[in-house]
């Protein structure tokens, strides 16, 4: 059975990564490839690394061009996906890489995004408790933010097992620059980025914070408070997340490890590494895998969990394709049988 898939935002990093994964997906035929301002251009001039799709011509991002496909991947500015999705046939599986449908709470959305809440769609992180079931047969998918993907993979097992205090989670993450997109902004110039590191969005206002608190809170069964600081690292891809939470009294290293082990033992894409081996983003570059490790800092009374992902793959397009596979009843790892690229 061949699924026809349309991809919008094809000239950007997320759209390009979706196309890279779909190009050799055994069950997919790529349909319309669309972008706002590059209609009529050959994909090869915009995404020269996608050799097998070089001669495809981009069309405008319109409902007309996207309809007629079984699946539509959207990467649009805020507020646009709901409206476009509403104009597609009912049976179309719409997968939104944007933020519009990630948050369940209207209040949280309005506080952090300052616009009307578009509602929430099934959340594209299958490793979360209950998420895989919610994705089966779904016709709408909200792809998580990249930082929330790695943060939730890092800490949800502890919350789900009732081992962590909910009130004082501290997360610091380092991301490659592709997470900031392809727009030409001065602070993202190679000259500004190479050879150094700096933070941004510090202090509680980062839009990924409510998304993390949503996932942690759902798993914990109570509100969780997160302090999140992102930093920009001199690399193109990857997110290394260092997440810490206070451990409930009486919980020890063995119980902690057991919780993460059981959470991920059967997961195809989330791996708790053998003891003593620590994640590194080069382990997962270009792949849908996430690697994790934890340590119990007894002195500080905190568990420290480190998670490495590729922000464009597991953090965006890979998570999207994985969710698509589940929604359509395909093999979950179809098109995602990719090892990391190292060195």
Nearer to a second copy, 93 or 171 (CB): 171
271, 277 contact by CB (below 8 A): no
307, 290 contact by CB (below 8 A): yes
Q: Show which residues are catalytic.
A: 146
State the nearest-atom distance from the C-beta of 286 to a second copy, in Å: 4
State the nearest-atom distance from the C-beta of 20 to a second copy, in Å: 5
Nearer to a second copy, 49 or 87 (CB): 49
Query: Which DSSP symbol is given to 169?
Result: E
Residues 6+ apart with CB under 8 A from 326: 126, 132, 135, 136, 138, 332
State the nearest-atom distance from the C-beta of 257 to a second copy, in Å: 12
Residues 6+ apart with CB under 8 A from 180: 188, 232
Q: What is the 3-state secondary structure (H, E, C) of 259-305?
A: HHHHHHCCCCCEEECCCCCCCCHHHCCCCCCEEEEEEEECCCCEEEE
- For residue 131, the surrounding DSSP H or E stretch is helix 131-135
State the nearest-atom distance from the C-beta of 66 to a second copy, in Å: 23
Distance of CA 99 to the CA centre of its chain: 11
Nearer to a second copy, 85 or 306 (CB): 306
Nearer to a second copy, 67 or 170 (CB): 170
């Amino acid at each position: 059975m061949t699924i026809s898939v349309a991809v919008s935002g094809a000239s950007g990093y997320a759209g390009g990564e979706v196309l890279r994964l779909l190009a050799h997906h055994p069950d997919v035929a790529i349909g319309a490839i669309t972008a706002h301002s590059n209609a009529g251009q050959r994909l090869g001039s915009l995404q020269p690394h996608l050799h097998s799709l070089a001669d495809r011509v981009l069309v405008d991002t319109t409902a007309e061009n996207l309809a007629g496909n079984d699946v539509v991947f959207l990467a649009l500015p805020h507020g646009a996906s709901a409206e476009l999705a509403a104009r597609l046939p009912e049976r179309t599986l719409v997968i939104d890489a944007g933020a519009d449908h990630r948050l369940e709470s209207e209040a949280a959305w309005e506080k952090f995004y300052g616009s009307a809440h578009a509602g929430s769609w099934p959340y594209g992180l299958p490793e979360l408790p209950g998420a895989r079931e919610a994705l089966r047969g779904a016709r709408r998918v909200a792809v998580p933010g990249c930082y929330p993907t790695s943060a939730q993979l890092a800490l949800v097992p502890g919350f789900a097992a009732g081992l962590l205090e909910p009130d004082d989670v501290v997360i610091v993450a380092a991301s490659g620059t592709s997470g900031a997109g392809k727009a030409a902004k001065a602070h993202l110039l190679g000259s500004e980025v190479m050879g150094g590191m700096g933070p941004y969005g510090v202090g509680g206002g980062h839009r990924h914070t409510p998304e993390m608190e949503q996932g942690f809170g759902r798993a914990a069964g109570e509100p969780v408070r997160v302090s999140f600081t992102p930093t920009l690292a001199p690399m193109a891809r990857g997110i290394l997340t260092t997440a810490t939470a206070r451990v409930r009294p009486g919980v020890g290293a063995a119980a902690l490890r057991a919780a993460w082990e059981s959470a991920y033992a059967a997961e195809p894409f989330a791996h708790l590494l053998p003891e003593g081996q620590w994640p590194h983003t080069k382990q997962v570059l270009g792949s849908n895998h996430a690697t994790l490790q934890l340590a119990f800092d007894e002195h500080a009374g905190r568990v420290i969990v480190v998670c490495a992902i590729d922000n464009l793959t597991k953090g965006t397009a890979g998570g999207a394709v994985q969710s698509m596979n589940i929604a359509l009843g395909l093999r979950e790892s179809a098109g995602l049988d990719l090892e990391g690229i190292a060195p």
